[in-house]
Structure 1
Amino acid sequence: MGAVTSSMAAKFAFFPPNPPSYGLGVDESTGKNKITGVSTRENVDVLKLCTKRGNNIVALYIKNSSASLTILYSHGNAADLGQMYELFSELSIHLRVNLLCYDYSGYGQSSGKPSEQNTYADIEAAYKCLVEMYGSKEEDIILYGQSVGSGPTTDLAARLPNLRAVILHSPILSGLRVMYPVKRTYWFDIYKNIDKIPMVNCPVLVIHGTADDVVDCSHGKQLWEHCKEKYEPLWVKGGNHCDLELYPQYIKHLKKFIAAIEKSSRNRIESGPTPDQPDIPRNSTDFREKPRPSMDIRENSRRSIEFKDKARISTDQKEKSRSGVDKRDKSRKSVDRADKVNNGAEIPEKARNSIDRFGGMVRSVGFCNIDCFRPSATHA
C-alpha cells in the first residue's frame, strides 16, 4: 500500500526543477556551506540536514535581528530554493521573522527521491534543526505550506499542540481530490489534509486565489471551514495558483496576521502558563496504515516525536453558514477579533510584474508549474 501511495505521489505531485536552479559549495575562508547561483547574504546560513529516512536535504536559515517568530516554509512542487530565494529574503524582511526553508528529498541539491513519506521526514528534520540548532520554541514557530507543501505542513501541525500558527497558501484537500471530485478519503490517497486539519490546535490563515485553475479555491475554503481556530482568510479575487505574491493584499494580509499572532502571544505570556494535558499519540488518518511514530526532538535517545499537549486559549466561536463560495462570511472567527479585515471582499489590484512595497521580488521567477497536478505523457 505504501508503494502505491508513493507511486501516486511521484506521478502527480512532484516535479522538481531539472536542472536545479542553484548549486552548493564551501566558503574557503570560513569552511561553511554556501549556495551558488544566487546573491549571497551574511544573514543566511546554508545547511545540510539528515532525515530519519537517510536523505540529506538542503535548508536555508534567514536571520532577522528584530524577529520574535520563525516561519518554517514548505514550498510548492515545481520550485526549489534557488527560485524561491528572493521571495524568502523579502518575506523575512517585511514580516520581521526568521525563516527556515528547505528542499524536499530529490529537489535542488537534496538527495533521495520525492515521496509523501520523505516530505514528512524532511519537514521533521527542518523542525528539529530549528529547535536544536537555533533554540526556537514550538510556541514561536509558524508553519507555512504552499500548494503541495500544505501536505507536510498540515501533517506536522496536527502533531504540535503548542504551535504558534499555520499558514496554508493555495492548499490541497488531498492529492486525489485535486484530480477527481471525490467526497470521501480512500486509503491510497496522499496528503489527506482534510482529515488532519481538525487536529490542528493553533490559528490557521488560508490564502487562495479565486481563479486558481490547478487547485480550485474550494479546497482552501473547505479546509478553512474545518479549522478549530480560524483567522480571517484571504481569497484573492482573480488570483491563480502561482501568482498570489504579486497582489498587494498578499503581503498586507500576512503582516496583519503576524501582528495579530505577536499580540496574541504577548497576551498568553501575561496571562501566565497553562496546565499540561496528557500526551496525545499520533494516529494515522488511514486505518489501513500503521501509524507513523511521532518525532521527539527533545530526547535524543528516542526516534519518535512526543509532544505534550498544553491547553490553548481557543478563539472558536459559532460561525454562520456560508451562502456561496465567493460570498463573504460575516461571522468568521479571528485571532484578533478587534480587527475586521475586508481583504476577502474588496477587489484587488491587477497582478503586476513586481511588488512596489514588497521589494520588487518575484521578478522573472516561475514559482510553480501550473500543470503540476495534471497527469501527462511527459510525467507518466
Structure 2
Amino acid sequence: MWIVKVIIALATFYTAVIVAAYFLQTHLIFPAGLVGQGGAPPGSRTVQLATEDGENVVLVRVAPAAGEIAERPVLLGFGGNAWSANTMATVLHQIFPDHEIAALHYRGYGPSSGRPSSKALFADAALAYDHLAGKSQNGVVAVGFSIGASVAVDLAAKRELEGLVLVTPFDSLKELAAAHYPWLPVRPLLRHHMESAETLGKLALPVAIITAENDDVVPAKRSKPLREAAADLRSDIVIGGTGHNDIYYIGEFAEALRKSVAAVSGD
C-alpha cells in the first residue's frame, strides 16, 4: 500500500510542476522584471510606437557620429531576453559609430507597455521596421542576439531587409526548451513559438551567424540547423573559448560583428 501512496505523491508533485511550468513560462522566457535599463548612448532619442492592440512600445534611435554620415543601412537591434534596448543600442553604437542604430524595448520591458510574448515581439519588430523604413534610404539590417535572433528572422519573413546578423541563435524555441527540460512535456505545453530555422529556410536574403564555442545555453546542435537553412550564408564565425553570456566581453566579438554586418550589407 505504501508503494501506491508514494506513486500517487510523486505523480501529484510532477503534475504540480507541469502546471507551474505552464503558467510561469512567459516569465521564464521573457524575464522583463529582471532587466536593468541602464543609460542609452549620448544623443539618442526615443520614439513611442502605438500597437494595434492599444499598447505603446519604445524604440531607441541613435544617429551616426558627427562626420560619419554615409550611405549605410540602419542597424535595427533585438537583444537577448534579459537585455534592455538601451544596452543593445549602446553596444551597437560603440561598434558601429558610422551607422544609425535603432533598438526596440520589447513589449513589457522598461518603458514599453503590455506583456511580452513571441507574437507580440514579432508584431512590434515589424512596427519598428515600418517606422524606420519610411525614414531611411539605405535599407535596414536586423541584428539579433540570442532570442532576438528569432525576432530578426521573423521580421525578415515579413519585411524587406538588406540582411540578417544572428548572434548565438537557436533553431526552435520548442526544441531548445525540450533540450533543457527533457523531463517535462515541453513541446505540447509551450505557448510561445519561434521556429527560426523553418522560417529562415524560406528566405533568400544574406545571412551572417556568430556563435560561441562553449555555449551551454544554445548548444551547437540547436544553432547548426540555422546554418543549414540559410540559402545565402555570407559569414559564419565561431568565437573560441566563449559561452553564451560572455561572448560579448571578448575582444574578438566586435570584429566578428563588424565582419558580419559588412558581409550582409556589401560594405
Q: TM-score scaled to structure 2, two decimals?
A: 0.79
Residue type of the partner of 1:124?
A
1:125-136 equivalent positions in 2, closer than 5 A: 125-132=127-134, 134-136=135-137
d(CA) in 1 for partners of 2:235, 2:92:
23
SS in 2 for 1:199: coil
Identity %: 23
Question: Match for residue 217 of structure 2?
Answer: 214
Question: Match for residue 49 of structure 2?
Answer: 49
d(CA) in 2 for partners of 1:85, 1:71:
9
1:84 positional shift: 3.5
Cα contact 1:53–1:118 (8 A) shared by 2: no
d(CA) in 1 for partners of 2:24, 2:170:
15
Residue type of the partner of 1:122?
D
Question: Match for residue 228 of structure 2?
Answer: 225
1:13 positional shift: 1.1
Question: Match for residue 175 of structure 2?
Answer: 177
Question: Match for residue 29 of structure 2?
Answer: 13
Cα contact 1:173–1:220 (8 A) shared by 2: yes
Cα contact 1:174–1:189 (8 A) shared by 2: no
d(CA) in 2 for partners of 1:126, 1:91:
21
1:124-163 equivalent positions in 2, closer than 5 A: 124-132=126-134, 134-136=135-137, 140-160=139-159, 162-163=160-161
d(CA) in 2 for partners of 1:201, 1:59:
27
1:19 positional shift: 6.8
Question: Match for residue 70 of structure 1?
Answer: 74
Residue type of the partner of 1:243?
D
Q: How many residues align?
A: 235
Question: Match for residue 310 of structure 1?
Answer: none
Unpaired segments ≥5 residues, structure 2? 1-21
Residue type of the partner of 2:121?
T
Question: Match for residue 201 of structure 2?
Answer: 198
Pick closer, same or farther for the CA change 1:61–1:15 going to 2, 3 Å: same
Do structure 1's residue 84 and structure 2's residue 84 form an aligned pair? Answer: no
1:180 positional shift: 1.6
Residue type of the partner of 1:141?
V
d(CA) in 2 for partners of 1:89, 1:153:
18
Unpaired segments ≥5 residues, structure 1? 1-5, 23-37, 265-380
Residue type of the partner of 2:258?
K
**Cα deviation per residue 1:297-330 (whole Å; 9 max; x = unaligned)?**
xxxxxxxxxxxxxxxxxxxxxxxxxxxxxxxxxx
Cα contact 1:59–1:100 (8 A) shared by 2: yes
d(CA) in 2 for partners of 1:90, 1:114:
28
SS in 2 for 1:119: helix
Residue type of the partner of 1:13?
I
Question: Match for residue 123 of structure 1?
Answer: 125
SS in 2 for 1:252: helix
1:17-28 equivalent positions in 2, closer than 5 A: 17-18=33-34, 20-21=36-37
SS in 2 for 1:180: helix
